[in-house]
Copies of this chain bind each other. A is one copy, B any other.
Amino acid sequence: MTIKEIAKLANVSLGTVDRVIHKRGKVSKKTEEKILAIIEKVNYQPNIYARGLVLNKSYTIVALVPSFIEGEYWEMPSKGIKMAEKNLSQFGVNLNILYFDQNSVPSFNEKVDELLKLKPDGVILAPVINFEAVKLTKKLESGKIPFSLIDSNIPNSKALSFIGQDAFQSGKLAAKLLCSEINSQGTISIISIKNNENHNKTLQQRIEGFKDYIYNSNFIANITLIENNIHLGTANWEENLMQACTPTNNTVGIFVPSSMIHHVAKCIEANFDTMSNIKLVGNDLIANNVKYLKKGVINYLIGQRPENQGYLALESFYKHLVLGKSVPQKKYLPLDIITQENLMYYNDDVV
């Protein structure tokens, strides 16, 4: 059923039907009612191909995410965003990715300027440098540019959507898995390894969740918790890490709330004769972590589908701008538990 046929049925021209459909006015009440009745009756559905062809709008989406070197965590959200672009570019969604240095506020602001110059129809933002990110969201809001957040949220922001994970729950899950492996007794070391100076809410929440699980367990009396902080790149960080890994008393498990557990695994592997019974639980399926998971040095990794996060972020703009559909304001992706046994089917899992 086409506009043409409706026009014929109503004894009017295409243009009149068109005006009614788009509520452009300039139609007498009588004809409007007649046409609406026919549209209703024949259940007219516009042909989305024809509509898409003639509208042929294209949208510029700019993604602002941390730069990375191969194999680092932030490669994965980028990968997902790019994959989404591959599928959605045919619908007029055009992507620009801008990378900033997590450790440099000037770098971030430089990219913000670039971003604004591009006059985007939508922005995907990883608010890693929280304070500056908030400033950007204010600017976007006042410029009526919609934005989606990935990885971590900015509460009370007017984001089109937030796509990430429940970090607190992720920590609880890590604790559960580690406790199961160590038979719920002994000393557990939480080692926070970071490569930048930003306040990292995600790490903090994972640690809180981890502690929460243990403090509310019925075997809390059998567990001792130790916490360590390592800053990659600082003087002696490797020695400090080695120290943190070395079994004190009765260390049986280590939890690293960032994607950096491979550094711990490397330590353990180097001293495998004395440390082989220490269980490791960490986050994120980056290549280095996967390597040690396969070797059995790391026991569990928790995945948060970062590629999927990126994919969904761009897709949210497609749904919003192209299809005119509503998108969920908040989306927590599943916390995947990865072991040697199910690792192989999590690798090409973007969509």
| Contact between chains at A339 and B173 (CB < 8 Å) | yes
Q: From A3-11, A147-155, A234-242, A342-350, give the one contacting chain B.
A: A342-350
Contact among B46, B166, B169, B342 with A169 in the assembled complex (CB-CB below 8 Å): B342
Assess whether A262 is interfacial by the CB under 8 Å rule. no
| Contact between chains at B337 and A349 (CB < 8 Å) | no
Docked Cα-Cα span, A91 to B50, in Å, equals 11
Q: Which residues of B contact A340 (CB under 8 A)?
A: 176
Q: From A34-42, A106-114, A188-196, A328-336, give the one contacting chain B.
A: A328-336
Q: Which residues of B contact A181 (CB under 8 A)?
A: 180
Number of A positions contacting B (CB below 8 A) = 37
Q: A336-B334, A339-B176, A349-B334 are contacts. A53–B49 as well, Cβ < 8 Å? A: yes
Residue of B nearest to A92 (CB): B49
Docked Cα-Cα span, A277 to B184, in Å, equals 15
Q: Which residues of B contact A46 (CB under 8 A)?
A: 90
Contact residues of A between 224 and 260, Cβ < 8 Å to B: none
Assess whether A156 is interfacial by the CB under 8 Å rule. no
**A219 vs chain B, min Cβ distance (A):** 14
Docked Cα-Cα span, A52 to B48, in Å, equals 9
| Contact between chains at A50 and B53 (CB < 8 Å) | yes
Assess whether A45 is interfacial by the CB under 8 Å rule. yes
Q: Which residues of B contact A51 (CB under 8 A)?
A: 49
Most B C-beta atoms less than 10 A away, residue of A45, A51, A176, A180: A180
Docked Cα-Cα span, A342 to B337, in Å, equals 9
Contact residues of A between 298 and 351, Cβ < 8 Å to B: 332-337, 339-342, 344-346, 349, 351
Most B C-beta atoms less than 10 A away, residue of A46, A172, A339, A349: A339
**A172 vs chain B, min Cβ distance (A):** 5
Contact residues of A between 166 and 191, Cβ < 8 Å to B: 166, 169, 172-173, 176, 180-181, 183
Q: A183-B183, A334-B349, A336-B334 are contacts. A176–B341 as well, Cβ < 8 Å? A: yes
Contact among B49, B89, B332 with A345 in the assembled complex (CB-CB below 8 Å): B332
Chain A residues within CB distance 8 Å of chain B: 45-53, 56, 89-91, 166, 169, 172-173, 176, 180-181, 183, 213, 332-337, 339-342, 344-346, 349, 351
8 closest residue pairs by CB, A with B:
A49-B52, A337-B337, A49-B53, A173-B341, A335-B342, A334-B345, A49-B49, A334-B346
